[in-house]
Amino acid sequence: MTQEYRKTPEALARLTPQQYRVTQDDVTEPAFRNQYWNNHDAGIYVDVVSGEPLFASVDKFDSGSGWPSFTVPIDAANVVQKKDRSWGMTRTEVRSAHGDSHLGHVFDDGPAEAGGLRYCINSAALRFVPLAELEAEGYGDYLALFEGTTASTKENAR
C-alpha cells in the first residue's frame, strides 16, 4: 500500500480519553472490560492513531487474559519492540512503528504451533476494520489474508 501512516495532532484530538491514556501515556486498560477482547468477527485491527495495519483476526486467539491476543502482526515492520522495565519486571512492550502508539506487550506463552508468541494488545489502541469494509477503507491488499475462510466467517463480518 502507498498510504502514509503517521501520528498527527488531528488524529490525537479525535482520541477518547481512554485511547489517549493507553496510546500516549502507556496505560493498560482493564482486562475483560475492553472492546475487542471477545471479538470474533473477521477483519483487521489498525492503530487507532495512525491507521497502520497491525493484526488480523485470522491470527487472534483466546488467551484467557482478557485482552485481544494475536500470534503475529500483519507486517512485522509496523510493530516495534522495546524493553519495558516498569512494575519491577522486564517485559517487551510493542508500539506501532509509524504512530508510536503504545499497543501492549508480547510474551512467549502463545500457542506453540503458531510460533509461541502472544501479542497482548489494548483494545483502546486499536480500531477494527471488518472484512466487508477492507476495500472501502483502503485496506483491500489485506483481503488475501481471508482467502479460504468459511462463508459463515465472511457473513459474520457483514
Annotated catalytic residues are 120
- Residues with Cβ < 8 Å from 18, sequence gap 6 or more? 29, 124
In our burial notation (b when 16+ CB lie closer than 10 A, e otherwise), range 97-110 reads bbbebbbbbbbeeb
Q: Of 79, 82, 44, which is closest to residue 60 (Cα–Cα)? A: 44
